A = this chain, B = another copy of it.
């Protein structure tokens, strides 16, 4: 059983152009309710972590989103919100949160989890976190590794050692101890592979998806960071030390811009893995990073928005020309609806849009009062907003970033 207090850290940043125009620079993905659950991804993340925590989760977000984040999760001590003056990647954000925790609870374990991912099975998630906490107490940097379900090319991978047990000498001063059951040594982190490599990875049975979830004692994280990038650890601790004092804002403004902008993977995870100081807890809890519209459409189809049956108005297909005419339609009810008509239509709706469809498999995101009509679509996502309309073939969802990148040069930067 874990002994030390546990404080979740939730970095809430990232531009997220892959769900444009649903997500915008001013309204990033983590602030959105993407599954019709009645809560944003950030709120879902806080709600998932709060029961496991011994203190309110710390959300580190950009100054631009501080107000919106406070509104969503700042109420009644649900979360502590820390605003970064400027985005400097994940390591400074997590280091600052670790330093704040370390100052208040020197023995505490922190767990860093992205604000904009989905977890279908919170109980399995809680079990994995418990093992990770126990492992972290023994001095490891611990990551949760997702059991891969297909040879994805959109994620990094974690290779676990073929052998169980510690790879570093147990009990050495400051070094990690023996691994508890369910935790495995990590050999290396691998960046997003191509398809062929991804298939090779899966064939070995040793590779897991890197979901960017790290559990570690706050002091271990900062001490190890002090070895790798001393100025970054010292800066985070300096800002934390000034927290709550009159000097805090001055210190923050002076120190923060000088912190090395780097991801935790490169700053800590990769070098420590090479040293045998990283462990992974393999887990399967229905994780999804909701990375693009293809993923989101699949999510809505598989886990959310059960298709509503039509009210049986077959007779209106009176044109006599088409057997698919008795079809499906739905008005989303603030959350999501769907249709699964006799013509094989399967349309999921996120938002309040009224949608009617003939012979279509599609996903609609819309809350304007425009009526949306679909005919003969197969695997299409439609995002209807007041100032931008996207129509996208799910299987080419990855091409969207090209298009969003072009907005600026077309003089449409305000739409990002």
Contact = CB atoms under 8 A, between A and B. Distances in A.
B377 A322 contact: no
A235 interface: no
A396 B375 contact: yes
Contact of A388 (B370, B393, B415): B370
Interface in A364-416: 369-378, 380, 382, 384-393, 395-403, 405-407, 409-410, 412, 415
A210 interface: no
Oligomer copy total: 2
B393 A384 contact: no
B376 A392 contact: yes
A196 interface: no
B402 A322 contact: yes
Contacts of A382: 389, 391
Contact of A399 (B358, B370, B372): B358
A45 B88 CA distance: 64
Interface residues of A, number: 57
Interface of A is mostly: mixed
Given A375-B396, A392-B376, A405 B318 contact: yes
Interface string A306-325: 00000001001111011011
B373 A399 contact: no
A134 interface: no
12 contacts: A319-B402, A324-B399, A356-B403, A362-B391, A371-B412, A372-B388, A372-B391, A373-B389, A375-B393, A376-B392, A376-B396, A382-B391
Interface of A: 20-21, 313, 316-319, 321-322, 324-325, 327, 329, 354, 356-359, 362, 369-378, 380, 382, 384-393, 395-403, 405-407, 409-410, 412, 415
Given A354-B412, A358-B399, 20 more contacts: A316-B402, A317-B402, A319-B401, A324-B399, A327-B402, A329-B410, A359-B396, A359-B399, A371-B389, A371-B412, A373-B390, A373-B391, A373-B403, A374-B390, A374-B392, A375-B392, A375-B393, A375-B400, A376-B397, A384-B389
